[in-house]
Structure 1
Amino acid sequence: MKNLFFTLLLSLIAFTVSAQDSVGPVVTFQESTYEFGDIHQGDVVEHIFKFTNTGDTPLVITNVTTTCGCTAPKWPKEPIAAGDEGEIIVRFNSRGKRGVQNKPITVYSNAKNTTRISITTNVLVEEKN
């Protein structure tokens, strides 16, 4: 009976340790913020955020949201295998904007944490005489 209990206890410990070794998908961006610098009102600028799935199971991005319609993201709809790379393209339209703009982008996926990236820029407005 003691041997059976000891064997079950060791099995439980081994199972717990192996379950903790499984990380799941992890999104690792090369950069979390991109600065466009000065642009002129009406310019449309774009940046590609590159990332790697540094986890051990496929990554599925379910949604990417922004805080305003001036910022439009495109993301991969297919799963990203462990170790593979992907990109999120973010386009910013400065029409009607002025001054410093900071636009957060939220990436929703099956990774354990929600990821945020952002773009910033300074929109210059030409004064008319």
Structure 2
Amino acid sequence: MKQVFSVIFFLSVSTALLNCSGTEKKNDSKQTDSKLPVLTLIDSSSYDFGTIKEGQVVEHTFKFRNDGEYPLILNNITSSCGCTTPEWPKEPIGPNATSSIHVRFDSKNKSGPQVKTITVYANTEPAYSELRLRGIVNAEPKPEAEN
């Protein structure tokens, strides 16, 4: 009789613990995630500038919207190369507001296929997003040396 009571007690406690631990945590994390700022690109995360001559400068503006419930703060933006410089808003972007990141690529001393990655660090989940500029740079012909 004691064994049957012990088994029933153990099963009751186990069932109660399993029911309590699962659903509340999932709902809490879902609520927290939905309140975070969300950087949503309006166009694309990649821009193909086609084929250009070495030395030309390419500029592109990536437009985005904050689809979250709290202000979006762009903490920092880095690029994979010193030839690519980003400009971004320093003030918070409110919920449902739009803004943009302007990127400038200088192809001086670059030739061949180019892919430049721009990493956007913000108060979002995940904490960063990536943008890309891609295209082909045709080398400038070198002047022939005189003998």
- TM-score normalised by the chain length of structure 1: 0.83
Bigger mean CA deviation after superposition, 18-27 or 53-62:
18-27
For residues 10-61 of structure 1, what are the alpha-carbon distances to aligned partners after superposition, in whole Å with 9 as ceiling and x for unaligned? xxx5x97466334110101121100000011000110000001111111000
Q: What is the aligned residue count?
A: 117
SS of the residue aligned with 1:21? helix
> Is it true that 1:117 corresponds to 2:127 in the alignment?
no
CA–CA distance in structure 1, aligned partners of residues 140 and 38 of structure 2: 44
Name the residue aligned to 1:3: none
SS of the residue aligned with 2:30? helix
CA–CA distance in structure 2, aligned partners of residues 91 and 84 of structure 1: 24
Q: Which amino acid aligns with 2:39?
A: V
CA–CA distance in structure 1, aligned partners of residues 80 and 62 of structure 2: 17
CA–CA distance in structure 1, aligned partners of residues 108 and 140 of structure 2: 13
Gaps of 5+ in 2: 1-19
Name the residue aligned to 2:12: none
Higher helix share: 2
Q: Which amino acid aligns with 1:108?
A: Y
RMSD (Å) for aligned C-alpha atoms: 1.8
Name the residue aligned to 2:53: 40
CA–CA distance in structure 1, aligned partners of residues 26 and 55 of structure 2: 56
Q: Which amino acid aligns with 2:98?
A: E
- TM-score normalised by the chain length of structure 2: 0.73
